[in-house]
Structure 1
Amino acid sequence: MDCPELVWRARLATMRPRHEAGTGLPRGAADQPSQGTVMNLSALTRLGLLLAGGCVAAAAQSQSLPTQGTWTTTLQARDLDGNLANGAEAYYDTVLKITWLANADLGLGSAYANFEDQPGAVTWADAKTLVADFNLGGVTGWRLPTVAPINGESFQYYDPNDYWTGQRDQGYNIVSPNSELAHMFHVTLGNKSILDTSGNDQEGFGVSNQGPFSNLSSGNAYWFGTRFLQNPDDPRYPQNRVWLFYPAFGSQGFAKDTNGLLVWAVHDGDVGTALSPVPEPSSLALMLAGLGGTLMLARRRLHD
């Protein structure tokens, strides 16, 4: 089985409806995803990612890419622990007006992360407790990222005809600042969804750019702090669902609140102490060259 087919099977796994306890609904056909099923994390989803793991890695090797996205101009480094020597613990987002923790996997190594095959994964209840109790350098008041309707009025759920356009809250290519995680992924870091806005497969999807952050995962989804309200046109799913964002495919959807997903803590406003930006190597070379020229000119004037 070649790479494109593995990726296709993985994508179908993320879209395929599953049997929900108490609903009596069967699994849907793999080639007929039904409404309300995008990114409903199940065993099939994880199986699909395992199958396509090599393809995802080949498509998007995560690294820090200064020329991709807006992060070099819209994120400002912040010190939280009072030790300037160890670098930034957070980054202020000048567009969303929030501060992102530099460690994009707060649950990793915590007492709440007890999902055997998913390092850092915690339930939604534990995720909320983890961020509420988090204290770094005396800075408290952290929360989970939030999501609000793209259109500012009501959530637009999955539709098989246009879920890739970025105009639906449940789908791909969402660049609206109303979704803090999607905006970070697509705009700030410049990463891509598995489908483009015309619905075609595209290369280089997933976490190709991690920016200045550490532990930004493509192997699991991230919790929002926002409940997934039941789609009135699709009554199969009960109210114990929460919005999520899945970096591996650049998609936004939902999962049971008892599932194990990842935690990226954010803080309203600008917190911490500003750190002076480190000049790029090319800028540093120009600065040194200019300084050298100034010193030579000053020396000549002394000898005149």
Structure 2
Amino acid sequence: MKKGLLALGAAVALSSVAPANAALAPASPGLINDTTLNITWLQDANLVKTSCDANNALWQAFDPSTSTGNTRSKAQICADNGRLNWYEAEDWVAVLNSQSYLGYNDWRQPETTQPDASCSLVDGSSQNYGYRCTGSELGHLFNVSLGNPNEVDNSCFGVYPHCLQNTGPFSNMQSFTYWSGTEYAPLPTFAFYFGTDNGYQDEDVKDVSNLFVWPVRGGQSAVAPTTAQAIPALGGFGLVALGALLAGLAGWRIRLFG
């Protein structure tokens, strides 16, 4: 008993000076806060497929027939594991916003910062691409927050899921390519993408290629309150005092009962 009290006192005291500060922190259900980039990811990295399988309100509201470059029915998109061309992806994000999905109406596709000196390659228009890109939101997530390798440094592009060896707190993360919302400035009919199968960033034709879409929103999303979160409300000083009190109780028990 006395050892338990001492351990509890120490743990509570330490929690006030060394709080967890993970880069990817669960927010309310379905959302993951990225505390480094100050954005919120959907926990479901393939919500299109999840929605079409469930035939939910999002899927019913989605009408890709009006999207630029659309040549497929909704059934064909669903059969293609939910992959969309870039314009369809933009229209899908618009549906999330019109439905205030999970309480927010500011969803967008991930951004790709240019120039990005962290990338391994640069083209004649000073646009960076290739491996090790960390300036883009998807690149930072894949390379830094999740710590995945790439096919050049690790030779991981062999057996599925290839270089996607850590998916962290996310579900349905695909080992393939995901659209970015950032257009390729020298040729706006192209947009950037990031490959979670090999760690490669490049650009592709917006109205032809069918890739996955993973909406994000700027800022941190609200965290659902839990019982465990009630303790930090004491503040740092209060937690230290509580730890000292518990340790004192343990000492009193030792003197009283030997």
TM-score range relative to shorter protein: 0.5 to 0.7
Q: Is the 8 A contact 1:133 1:140 kept in 2?
A: no
- Corresponding residue for residue 133 of structure 2: 174
How far does residue 118 in structure 1 lie from its aligned partner after superposition? 2.8
How far does residue 103 in structure 1 lie from its aligned partner after superposition? 0.9
Find the residue that maps to 1:175 and give its secondary structure. coil
Higher helix share: 2
How far does residue 229 in structure 1 lie from its aligned partner after superposition? 2.8
The superposition leaves residues 106-125 of structure 1 with CA deviations (integer Å, 9 ceiling, x where unpaired) of 22143466336530211211
TM-score (ref. length: structure 2)? 0.63
**1:103 to 1:229, Cα distance in 2 relative to 1, 3 A:** same
Alpha-carbon distance in structure 2 between the residues aligned to 1:144 and 1:202: 29
Q: Is the 8 A contact 1:77 1:275 kept in 2?
A: no
Of all paired residues, the percent bearing the same amino acid is 29
- Does residue 1:229 correspond to 2:185, yes or no? yes
Higher CA-based Rg = 2
- Corresponding residue for residue 127 of structure 1: 89
Q: Is the 8 A contact 1:228 1:242 kept in 2?
A: yes
**1:169 to 1:142, Cα distance in 2 relative to 1, 3 A:** same
Map 1:70-219 to 2 at 5 A.
73-79=22-28, 88-109=29-50, 110=52, 111=59, 114-115=76-77, 118-134=80-96, 135-151=100-116, 157-158=122-123, 169-176=128-135, 179-196=136-153, 202-203=155-156, 206-218=163-175
The superposition leaves residues 213-258 of structure 1 with CA deviations (integer Å, 9 ceiling, x where unpaired) of 111110x210100112336xxxxxxx42111101111001122213
Alpha-carbon distance in structure 2 between the residues aligned to 1:129 and 1:149: 24
Q: Is the 8 A contact 2:116 2:128 kept in 1?
A: no
Unaligned ranges ≥5, structure 2 = 1-19, 53-58, 63-73, 229-245
Alpha-carbon distance in structure 2 between the residues aligned to 1:295 and 1:208: 47
**1:187 to 1:299, Cα distance in 2 relative to 1, 3 A:** same
Alpha-carbon distance in structure 2 between the residues aligned to 1:122 and 1:268: 22
**1:90 to 1:169, Cα distance in 2 relative to 1, 3 A:** same
Q: Is the 8 A contact 1:115 1:260 kept in 2?
A: no
How far does residue 133 in structure 1 lie from its aligned partner after superposition? 2.2
Counterpart AA for 1:174? C
Alpha-carbon distance in structure 2 between the residues aligned to 1:190 and 1:150: 22
Unaligned ranges ≥5, structure 1 = 1-70, 80-87, 160-166, 232-238, 279-291
- Relative contact order (alpha carbons < 8 A, sep ≥ 6): 1 or 2 greater? 2
Aligned residues: 191
Alpha-carbon distance in structure 1 between the residues aligned to 2:85 and 2:127: 26
**1:106 to 1:72, Cα distance in 2 relative to 1, 3 A:** farther
Q: Is the 8 A contact 2:150 2:156 kept in 1?
A: no
- Residue number among 205, 213, 217 corresponding to 1:267 in the alignment: 217
Alpha-carbon distance in structure 2 between the residues aligned to 1:202 and 1:174: 17
Alpha-carbon distance in structure 1 between the residues aligned to 2:255 and 2:86: 69
**1:275 to 1:128, Cα distance in 2 relative to 1, 3 A:** farther
How far does residue 202 in structure 1 lie from its aligned partner after superposition? 3.1
Counterpart AA for 1:222? Y
Q: Is the 8 A contact 1:144 1:224 kept in 2?
A: yes
- Residue number among 243, 256, 263 corresponding to 2:192 in the alignment: 243
TM-score (ref. length: structure 1)? 0.54
How far does residue 296 in structure 1 lie from its aligned partner after superposition? 5.9
Alpha-carbon distance in structure 1 between the residues aligned to 2:210 and 2:199: 18
Q: Is the 8 A contact 1:150 1:169 kept in 2?
A: yes
Counterpart AA for 2:115? I
How far does residue 269 in structure 1 lie from its aligned partner after superposition? 0.7
Alpha-carbon distance in structure 2 between the residues aligned to 1:137 and 1:175: 28
Alpha-carbon distance in structure 2 between the residues aligned to 1:99 and 1:301: 52
